[in-house]
Chains A and B, each alone.
Chain A
Amino acid sequence: MAIKLPIYMDNHATTPLDPRVLDAMLPYLRDNFGNAASRSHAFGWAAEKASEDAREQVAALIGASGKEIVWTSGATESDNLALKGAAEFHKDKGNHIVTAQTEHKAVLDTCKRLEKEGFQVTYLPVAEDGRVRPEAVAAALTDKTILVSVMLANNEIGTVNPVNEIGAVVKARGCLFHIDAVQGVGKIPFDVNAARADLVSLSAHKMYGPKGVGALYVRRKPRVRISAQIDGGGHERGMRSGTLNVPGIVGFGVAAEICRRELSVEGPRMLALRERLRQGLQSQISDTFVNGSMEHRLPGNLNISFAFIEGEAMLMALKDVAVSSGSACTSASLEPSYVLRALGVEEEMAHTSIRFGIGRFNTEEEVDFVIDLVARKVKKLREMSPLYEMAQAGIDIKSIQWAAH
């Protein structure tokens, strides 16, 4: 089969819509357009039933019950609702929140705002393998701690946190536990009870569903209370007002159902493709370094640094492959990835990192094409790199007095 270019290998940014999901959504964009809150006619009842069915499907993927699912516009909103909602509701119990330096901006920037409102936030460092240590969480908890927020899997380096162990530590102290599970759910097994999670953020577009729809799991037993952050018609049991995005919700439900049914087959297939990619690259290219734990990692993720080549130049060379980089040049800030820096990756290596995110629709042929392309481009760019030339000549790059920024 001929390969279609460009190849999409950036499945942490978003995933393509599964055609089966689209088929399920279409009737709700056409004839079944009802408002799920309309109680007086069949259009509303059909929409409500569709939303309730999807609730069960999403809940089943994480071992929850449908009643514990609150629909949102995506995981950014779910993270905001979980953190701000819990902080506001429980502020009389304490003002301290614990999270990690490698969290997504939807968590970190929400915490920054809460700090402005008088909350204290501890941003835990991570170990060199990129994972949060349960002991570090335990040591950070105080009598004032109301909430701990740790992600299931990291969006850049794909490392998987020991959430079950962290959950045990958090619940032993009676604090609330929020997990941003966006990148892990549907890719690796996850269960809200095993993790003892109180609040869990999910997003449809990271699991082959549509964009603009997400969910917040809110535990019912024992009941977890949060303050709504969007006021209005009192939808979602008052936790999130706004007319439901029924086609999106239907798509989310089917996407979750497919992930649940296919996880045991897809997980190993993703892992095999990722290992084919890693071994192919590392056997053909010298001076590569994988960032983050290899052992505790999403099956589809490879975050790898190609020494002596700046990441954005690499992305330009790989214009037939959609991937991303932790290099500063791909952001407006000119700072390399804060996630890689938190792992202790040196700045110069952070500038050389490339993130490959393999997904459901990638094939072995695509992986082989990518290996070959990357190997050729690395060779070309290293021939252009003064750092490579110095390394070849045995000059230690660190021995040179470089100018500051």
Chain B
Amino acid sequence: MAYSEKVLDHYENPRNVGSLDVNDPNVGTGLVGAPACGDVMKLQLRVNDQGVIEDAKFKTFGCGSAIASSSLATEWIKGMTVDQAMAVKNTQIVEELNLPPVKIHCSVLAEDAIKSAIEDYKKKQGARGGKDQVA
């Protein structure tokens, strides 16, 4: 199978590999996929007082396209507001990385990972009676 240049670039030089402190109230963590299906993505983001995502990290168990999709996702959402990040669509990832049809599920997983990290962040903020319940 031939990979697009962009997939290869993200795979070989993944952006934002790592972890943020799960216990930080400003950090949201999303863990999606399943080991039995061959892909698991963990995506984390830290939101500042202005509601802007100031940092994002990922770790992915999956094929090159899954790694590239999550790497791209973290790169994109850094600097976005939470609402902007919520609007990122898997089709944008497919387009940017030139993913073939059999790899579309990788982009879906990356979108799910962003949403699930944001939900986790919001839940934490809600529980704290948080600062920015500005929906």
Contact = CB atoms under 8 A, between A and B. Distances in A.
A329 interface: yes
Contacts of A320: none
A386 interface: yes
A347 B36 contact: yes
Contacts of B1: 330
A3 interface: no
Given A308-B61, A313-B62, A384 B67 contact: yes
A404 B61 contact: no
A387 interface: yes
Nearest to B64: A316
Interface in B31-80: 31-42, 59-64, 66-67
Contact of B34 (A309, A383, A404): A404
A312 interface: yes
A378 B14 CA distance: 15
B134 interface: no
A310 B41 CA distance: 12
Residue from the set B17, B19, B63 with the largest chain A CB neighbour count within 10 Å = B63
B121 interface: no
Tell me whether chain B's interface is mostly helix, strand or loop, or mixed.
mixed
B3 A348 contact: no
Contact of A316 (B11, B34, B39, B105): B11
Contact of B62 (A310, A336, A346): A310
A336 B63 CA distance: 13
A350 to B, nearest CB: 9
A386 B64 contact: no
A312 B66 CA distance: 10
B102 interface: yes
A385 interface: yes
A402 B59 contact: no
A328 interface: yes
B64 A312 contact: yes
Contacts of A332: 102
B54 to A, nearest CB: 22
B39 A346 contact: no
Interface string A180-216: 0000000000000000000000000000000000000
Interface string A328-347: 11101010100000000011
A387 B102 contact: no
Nearest to A400: B31
Of the listed residues B31, B37, B66, the one surrounded by the most CB atoms of chain A closer than 10 A to its CB is B37
Contacts of A334: 37-38, 102, 105
A316 B3 contact: yes
A402 B34 contact: yes
Contacts of A405: 34, 37
Given A327-B38, A336-B38, A386-B31, 6 more contacts: A310-B63, A327-B63, A328-B38, A332-B102, A351-B35, A383-B17
